[in-house]
Amino acid sequence: MTSARRAFVLVLDSVGVGALPDAATYGDEGSHTLGHVCEAADVRVPHLEALGLGRITPLRGVTAVPAPRAAFGRMAEASAGKDSVTGHWELAGLVLDHPFPTFTGGFPPAGRFVPGWPHVAARPQRPLHAR
């Protein structure tokens, strides 16, 4: 019998490492969340450093180790849209043709975005174990 091989996917959600080519479309020009944090604070992430974080992009205080202990990479979404759920779905293999709606100016009044939502949300629900 051969030994089982495992893979762990570590997603640093909302820890951006530089603007993507479509940044202007979403008002994200100059974005680089992790780089800006490293410039503003004394960041020490030895475990992520050993896994290869410093090899993705230059970061103040994070060494680009010569032999990372893991595979590493930077994701650029192929889907339309700019949200965490879209990125998570892509990691699972689903690319979206149309972006999910976002509400940067606040949520619409109840019932306008999802017709009948107040009625559906008010229905009594059975406990999960009873289904």
User: What confidence tens digit (pLDDT) does each residue in 9-68 have?
Assistant: 888 888 888 888 888 887 888 889 999 999 999 999 999 999 999 999 999 999 999 999
Confidence (pTM)? 0.67
Please give the structure tokens belonging to residue 113: 């975005």
What is the pLDDT at residue 111?
A: 57
Residue type, 131: R
How many CB atoms neighbour CB 71 within 10 A?
8
- Identify the structural domains of the chain with CATH numbers, from first to last: 23-130 (3.40.720.10)
The C-alpha atoms of residue 54 and residue 34 are separated, in whole angstroms, by 11
- Residue 13: DSSP 8-state: T
Whether the Cβ atoms of residue 100 and residue 83 lie closer than 8 Å to each other: yes
